[in-house]
Structure 1
Amino acid sequence: MQIIDINSNNIDNEHVCCAITEKKGENCVSSKKYWMKSNFDKGLVFKRLDERGKVFIEYIPAENAWCPITADNYMYINCFWVSGKFKGQGYSNLLLQKCIDDAKSKGKYGLVVLSSEKKLPFLSDSKYLKYKGFYLADTSEPSYELLYFPFTDNAPIPCFKDCVKQSKSKENGIVLYYSNQCPHTAKYAPILKKIANARGVEANLIKFETAKEAQNALAPFTTYSLFFNGEFITNEILSEKKIEKFLDSKGF
């Protein structure tokens, strides 16, 4: 088994290592692949194990990251995932090292990644990253951490933009900010609106279509950030049952 690159030349014939299979979620996978195709010329890199499983790392120059941060000349890790039977075999270290080597070869100051003080879905493990030498650069409510791995002692420290410091929305009701950076959103964002509407609740779906829009977001995780009456609720991409549970908790 070896690590391969997914790029514009082979993406149509390769899987992108997510929990959604091509057969069961063709439209969802297509949305992710379209997002990737739109960002390859912005420096997006996707490396995965040449095996049918969730073993991959995805990163992009921080200037083009879909995240509200200031991290000029850093490489931003979008998603880093090793799961199931592939855990404990050194693949996490291998993928991270390939990212480090690539970033160094491109003259970057280091790596930067969104994580959390508390373990949250869809975010890289803070404990692992800190064990590998990442430092805390900045924080944002409720428990987000911006971690960085500098290549030199004098590398500038990245930070969140001011727009995310409070993680509050001015809009009332249910508001979901999302993008197609993850294939799950193409399925579950519309389901949120459908279930909410069926209960007589309006749900406003705000989709980020460009990196510039995402870089001015109210919450760091622009793939999926759910707000209710201005308060941040979760970055977890909610399934049907979890959407219903959330609505039940709000009395709908």
Structure 2
Amino acid sequence: MDYIYVTKENIEQEHICCAISSNSDVQVRSKKDWLYDRFEDGIVFIKSVLRGKCFIEYIPAKNAWIPIDADKYMYIDCLWVSGSLKGHGYSTDLLNMCIEDSKKKGMEGICILSTKKKMPYLADPKFLTYKGFKVSDEASNGIQLWYLSFNDSVLPKFKSCAKDCHMSEPGFVLYYTNQCPFNAKYVPLIENVSKDLNIKFKSVHLDTKEKAQNAPTPITTYALFFNGEYVTNDVMNEKKFLKLLSNLGL
């Protein structure tokens, strides 16, 4: 398999490998704008030459858009291989490229979010365990910070603001960034559904690194709360949201 590094120079021409086929889609535009602005912070985006879901995105943890303390660690935003490209060792290829690059850049390890059991949009804990990752920290909602250390460095951990995953605001509160392309479409959709149903809903757009690094949730791409309690990181479409409302008795 051959791979392509997406850069400022080629980002407009390259497909960014998510589950969206058109480069003109509003979701792709949102993601590309976010990604373009992160290159100066050291983000790396590597994708398969084949069209499909096969890529890795990582960035120095000091510049990652999540609330962690991970000095000299590289943080993996996303490692995604699925569909017909799954099962060929491409995840290992991409992870090894990240490890090699991180070592060259003087990093002391890499880290990534996961859970005890596989959850949407998070790394597979079975794969991480197989590759030698271990858990260094866990938030109250079960989101874990996994790490692979290259030496005996200080382990990465969540900032205190993200450990409890609780807030005082009533109703729904959604924290999100433009890192996930789906948010450009589905956040407004859920806002409109809530308005139509007279459901109390507040969206908090984490549009800077500083806001994301001080958020009350270990997941910042999409974190939905209800009456102060964390609910899910699964991006809600209308059907999912209406089902959630029904489950909550609303």
Question: TM exceeds 0.5?
Answer: yes
What is the letter of the counterpart of residue 216 of structure 1? N
Offset of residue 143 of structure 1? 1.3
- Residue of structure 1 equivalent to 2:43: 44
SS of match in other structure, 1:5: strand
Q: Which residue of 2 aligns with 1:8?
A: 8
Question: Which residue matches 1:19?
Answer: 19
Q: Is the 8 A contact 1:118 1:143 kept in 2?
A: no
- For the 8 Å contact 1:45–1:60, the answer to whether it is kept is yes
Distance 2:67 2:125 in 1: 19
Q: Tell me if 1:179 matches 2:202.
A: no
User: What secondary structure is seen at the aligned counterpart in 2 of 1:12?
Assistant: coil
- Alignment partners' CA distance in 2, 1:66 and 1:159: 14
* Cα drift, residue 118 of structure 1: 2.1
The 3-state SS of whatever aligns with 2:47 is strand
Aligned partner (choices 162, 171, 175) of residue 164 of structure 1: 162
Give the conservation status (yes or no) of the 8 Å contact 2:114–2:146: yes
Q: Look up the match of 1:145.
A: 144
Cα displacement (A) at 1:202: 2.5
Matched-pair contact (CA < 8 Å) for 2:53–2:82: yes
Q: Could you list the per-position Cα deviations for residues 168-198 of structure 1 after superposition, in whole angstroms to 9, with x for gaps in the alignment?
A: 0121101100001010011111111101111
C-alpha separation between the residues in 2 aligned to 1:235 and 1:141? 14
Structure 1 residues 111-142: Cα deviation after superposition (integer angstroms, max 9, x where no partner) = 01111112110001111011101111111122
The percentage of aligned residue pairs carrying the same residue is 47
Amino acid at match of 1:47: I
Letter in 1 for 2:170: N
**Partner SS for 2:224:** strand
Amino acid at match of 2:13: N
Task: Find 2:194's aligned residue among 193, 196, 199.
Answer: 196
* Deviation sequence 1:12-59 (CA, Å, 0-9, x none): 010110012226x71110000000011010000000100100000000
Pairwise CA distance, 1:10: 0.2
8 A contact 2:172–2:226 mirrored in 1: yes
C-alpha contact 1:193 1:202 (8 A) present in aligned 2: no
Q: Is the 8 A contact 2:17 2:51 kept in 1?
A: yes
Q: Distance in 2 between matches of 1:104 and 1:231?
A: 39
TM-score when normalising by structure 1: 0.97
Query: CA separation in 1, counterparts of 2:31 and 2:140?
Result: 28
User: SS of the residue aligned with 2:12?
Assistant: helix
For residue 41 of structure 1, what is the amino acid of its counterpart? E
What is the CA deviation profile of residues 57-109 of structure 1, one whole-angstrom value per residue up to 9, with x for unaligned ones?
00000000011100011000000001011111110110000000000000000
State the SS of the aligned residue for 1:248. Answer: helix
Deviation at 1:250, TM superposition (A): 2.8
Which residue matches 1:131? Answer: 130
Deviation at 1:149, TM superposition (A): 0.5
Q: How high is the TM-score relative to the length of structure 2?
A: 0.98
Where has structure 1 moved over 6 Å in runs of 4 or more? none
Q: SS state of the match for residue 11, structure 1? A: coil
Q: Distance between the aligned counterparts of 1:134 and 1:86, measured in 2?
A: 23
> Which residue in the other structure is 1:218 paired with?
216
Displacement after TM superposition at 1:218 (Å): 0.9
Shift of 1:6: 0.4
* Equivalent residue, structure 2, for 1:97: 96
Contiguous gaps of at least 5 residues in structure 1: none
Aligned residues: CA RMSD: 1.0
**CA distance in 1: counterparts of 2:154 and 2:199, whole angstroms:** 45
Q: Number of aligned residue pairs: give it.
A: 250
- Partners of 2:21 and 2:237 in 1: how far apart? 16
Task: Indicate conservation of the 8 Å contact 2:163/2:218, yes or no.
Answer: no
Q: Would you say the 8 A contact 1:74–1:111 is kept in 2?
A: yes
Residue 118 of structure 1 is matched in structure 2 by: 117
> What residue number does 2:233 align with?
235
Separation (CA, whole Å) in 1 of partners of 2:249 and 2:157: 38
CA distance in 2, matches of 1:87, 1:12: 26
Residues 3 and 49 of structure 2 are in contact (CA less than 8 Å); yes or no, is this contact kept in structure 1?
yes
Alpha-carbon contact 2:115-2:144 (below 8 Å) kept: yes
